[in-house]
Amino acid sequence: MTWLLPSALAIAAVTCIALIAAHFIARDRPVAEPLPTARFVPDRRIHARTTSIALSDLLLLALRIAAVAAIGLGIAGPIVAGARGRIARIVLVDRSRSVLSLADARDILRAAGAADVVIAFDSAARTLDAGARAIDSLDKTGATGSLSAALAAASAAATSLASGADSIELALVSPVSTEELDAATPAIRAAWPGRIRLMRLRPKTASVVSPSALELPREPNDPVVAGLSLLPRELGASVRVVRGRLTAADSVWGREAGHVLVHWPAADSATDWPARPNLDAIGGVTSATGAIVARLPRLWSVSGRAIARWADGEPAAVERTLGAGCIRDVAVVVDPASDVTLRAPFRGFSRALLAPCGGARAFAPADSATLRALAGVGPLAAARNFRGAADQTSRFTPWLLALGAALLLVELALRRSSRTLG
């Protein structure tokens, strides 16, 4: 048996002790004592009380204690687990780009037996219908995996399972690559009150990553081309940078897997992007890999998944999916007379623009310490940790509260009758 609000039991116990103490020091009307000169005592209505140290009114005390106990138990909310010892199972299945093959995941899931909840995740988590069909229909995506999103979804699923189980087992079917971890992952993992069963999948390896290649326009006087040419060639993808208008050939090329088409117009005539309502200049732009601090004009508004932002947060470069590849629109115009592209900050900034679709890949498996921390030690997560006071109820509570109210009524009647008799 568990309790929704165990502190109510302690409060009820303290109240009972106080009741007993109050009955020990009960104040009552003093017993009449003969005084022949009583007639000289002023005849006034005085409600004097005397104290006694004997336990008095045992029936009233019993009724009061019973009422307090019933109300305390009702508020504490006893929950008798219908499935004592039952373990609910939640399975997190990684279908991100870090996974080499989902066939391994299907095999593991079938071998592990039935699960109550199956959650497939990449950058987001989605609960699947439990069953073989759902597992078979699982598809791999090209998105980056996020263990934080998966663990958060597991906690949400555990909350719904908690009322029908004593413990919750969490299984993680994933290669657990480095890119699936983020700064929030340790904190979210720490919020899971139990160990996690890790079932490792084979990760993608460097051999299956697309060969790196960077195609730049043949314009030696273009400052952007000059700057990008200084970048190392280990980009992890085939990148084509277009400074003019995009052609159909460019689009066809960009649709292929592993291809990144970077559309970085050199002038307003090289694109049809919508112009900003107010043309202005800003002091910097930043990406995940670096920042440029310079006076940069802002000509266009671009929309998509932001991979670079102006200093005020507005997207400066966005990525859009194009077939199996992607296209990146970079709305950063560099003054041809400036040498900013030749400096190290530009190279750092540009590295994110030339990264594979979906960002840089880091398929290397997490280190052993991270895996140990992720798996954790100790028992499975107790279901009571997921039972919130707001959404949990006890079927005994109304009956116990009704019993307490009835006992209080009986106590009231008994007290009144004893007062009448007295």
Partner 1 sequence: MAPAPAAAASYGALLDAVRGVHWPARRAVSSVLPGAHHSTLRGTSAEFTEYRLYRQGDDPRRVDWRLLARSDRAYIRLANDRAVLPTTIVLDTSASMAFPVTTRDKWRLAQELTIGLAAVAHADGDPVGVALHDASGKTAILPPRTRRDVVAEIARVVLAGEPGGSDPLTPVLRALRSARLVLVSDLLGDEEESLRAVRAHIVSGGEAHVAHVIAREELDPPRRTLLAADPEQGFVQRMLVEATRREYEERFASWRADVARRWRAAGVSYTEVITDEPAPRAVRRIAAAGER
The span of 44-52, 102-110, 132-140, 272-280 binding partner 1 (CB under 8 A) equals 44-52
51 vs 101 by CB, closer to partner 1? 51
DSSP string, 173-223: EE--BGGG--TTHHHHHHTS-S-EEEEEPPBP-GGGSPPPEEE--S-TT-H
Verify binding: residue 389, partner 1, rule CB under 8 A. Answer: no
Residue 385 CB, nearest approach to partner 1 (Å): 57
d(CA 23, CA 329): 82
- Contact criterion met (CB below 8 Å) for 317 and 308: yes
Phi, psi of 412 (to 5 degrees): -65, -45
Verify binding: residue 249, partner 1, rule CB under 8 A. Answer: no
Phi, psi of 252 (to 5 degrees): -60, -45
42 vs 379 by CB, closer to partner 1? 42
Residue 32 CB, nearest approach to partner 1 (Å): 4
Q: Which of 13, 14, 18, 38 binds partner 1 (CB under 8 A)?
A: 38
Binding mask 47-86 for partner 1 (x = CB under 8 A): -xxx------------------------------------
Verify binding: residue 42, partner 1, rule CB under 8 A. Answer: yes
Q: Which of 4, 8, 26, 37 binds partner 1 (CB under 8 A)?
A: 37
Give every CB contact of residue 178 below 8 A, 6+ residues apart in sequence. Answer: 362, 363, 364, 365, 366
Verify binding: residue 44, partner 1, rule CB under 8 A. Answer: yes
Residue 18 CB, nearest approach to partner 1 (Å): 24
Residue 35 CB, nearest approach to partner 1 (Å): 4
The residues in 4-33 that bind partner 1, with binding defined as CB under 8 A, are 29-33
Verify binding: residue 419, partner 1, rule CB under 8 A. Answer: no
- Of 162, 152, 154, nearest to 188 by C-alpha is 152
- Contact criterion met (CB below 8 Å) for 168 and 81: no
29 vs 295 by CB, closer to partner 1? 29
| Alpha helical stretches, state H, 40-131 | 58-76, 102-112
Residue 28 CB, nearest approach to partner 1 (Å): 11
> Where on the phi/psi map is residue 162: left (φ > 0), alpha (ψ -120 to 50), or beta?
alpha
Q: What is the dihedral of CA 30, 32, 37, 41, to 10 degrees?
A: 40
- Where along the sequence are the contacts to partner 1 (CB under 8 A)? 29-44, 46, 48-50
